[in-house]
Amino acid sequence: MERTILAVDAGGTKCRARLVAPDGTVLASGEGGACNPSTDLAGAIAVLDALINVLCRQTNPATERRSVVLSLGVAGLVDVGRRTSFLAAAEGFAEIVAMSDGYAALIGAGGGQPARLVILGTGAAGHRLFADGTSIQRDGWGFLGGDRGSGAWLGRRAVEAALKSYDGAAPESLLSQRLTARLGGNEAAILDWLLQARPRDFASLVLEIVAAAEAGDGAADALLEAAADEAAALVRSLGERERGESGRGEGEGEPLYLLGGLSELLRTRIETRLNQRFGVPQGGALDGCLLVARRQAPQERRR
């Protein structure tokens, strides 16, 4: 017997949820704030609890947790301790199904079938689902250790180049001028910005990079080219596609998808490097959560 499912895509920027009846009818939907247990466990618990309460109260009569399967795609559940604490706080449900937010996006994009996915946003990660139901993740190490080719990665390298020019150790460029002004224009203001900057702050500088590149700045365009190189390398790190049923995605074998805020900016550059086009995703992370909860796709089991 199918049950009502509350699908939640909980990421480091925002949290989205959808309450779905057994017949597929969407009963309620909503959004909340950042929900990443690895960076803010208490905050993530509070955001999730508030969003769950709002959605359950939107139905008439109000939906009771004990009749609902909670299916979570969550950033930052690798650490066992934090995972246990986070899931324990979501009590009272008939069942809890948990997976990484990237895996939920992979399942949604491929409809639960073997596929490869690269996500380029503030961070960067690659995912692949194999025919035996196991999966892998590449990168997703976070701002300090990886996320190569992401918005934060681009912004940080742009700042490094701008400050090198500011110090007189490299020629000025349009990009270095724009970023120096954006960061405050003087030593005190720049240091203050750097001391407070988060990954999303560095990622916000991508707009400056794009504007400078469109104006003909070679340094800015070189950064975008480097990001495309990293993204193409991320695809390759997922391994070669397995040949099989034709007509899925672009060409034969596993389809390849690209998602995230930088996907349209870098898509053509990456496709050129791979000599392959990205497919059109069948759905999103919430769809992936629903498929796993309905057992129409495997639960996350990493190799």
pLDDT grade for 139, boundaries at 50, 70 and 90: very high
pLDDT at 211: 96
- From the list 32, 34, 78, the residue with the least C-alpha distance to 52 is 32
- Given a contact cutoff of 8 angstroms between Cβ atoms, the answer to whether 106 and 135 are in contact is yes
Catalogue all structural domains in the chain, each as residue range(s) with its CATH number: 4-111+283-293 (3.30.420.40), 114-280 (3.30.420.40)
What value does the mean pLDDT take over residues 87-93? 89
Cα atoms in the 13 Å half-sphere on the side-chain side of 298:
14
Do 159 and 205 meet the contact criterion of CB atoms below 8 Å apart?
Answer: yes
Checking if the pLDDT of 296 tops 60, the result is yes
pTM for this prediction = 0.89
What does the pLDDT average to over 229-242?
Answer: 90
Higher pLDDT, residue 248 or 35? 35
* Predicted confidence band of residue 252 (pLDDT cuts 50, 70, 90): low
What does the pLDDT read at residue 78? 81
Supply the DSSP symbol for 277: P
- For residue 246, pLDDT beyond 60: no
User: CA distances (Å), 78 to each of 16, 39, 157, in order?
Assistant: 20, 12, 28
pLDDT at 248 over 60: no
**Mean pLDDT for the stretch of residues 25-35:** 92
Which one, of 259, 271, 216, lies nearest residue 104 by Cα?
Answer: 259
- Determine contact, residues 285/108, Cβ cutoff 8 Å: yes
Which position has the token pair 């490869």?
A: 116
Please check the confidence at residue 257 and state whether its pLDDT lies above 90: yes
Average pLDDT of the chain?
91
Q: In what order do the strands lie in the sheet with 135-139?
A: 135-139, 124-129, 115-120, 256-259
Q: Give the pLDDT score at 129.
A: 97
Using an 8 Å Cβ cutoff, are 73 and 288 in contact? yes
Q: Which two tokens stand for residue 178?
A: 């724009």
Per-residue tokens: 188: 């005190």
Average pLDDT over residues 145-155: 94
36 has pLDDT over 70: yes
Report the percentage of the chain scoring pLDDT > 90: 74
Which residues on adjacent β-strands are paired with residue 69?
5, 95
CB atoms within 10 A of CB 280: 10
Taking residue 223's Cβ as centre, other Cβ atoms within 10 Å add up to 23
Asked if residue 247 has pLDDT above 50, the reply is: no
Measured distance CA(268)–CA(271) in Å, rounded: 5
Q: Look at residues 278, 280, 300 and name the one whose alpha carbon lies nearest to residue 111.
A: 280
Tally Cβ neighbours within 10 Å of residue 218.
12
Question: Average pLDDT of 64-86?
Answer: 89
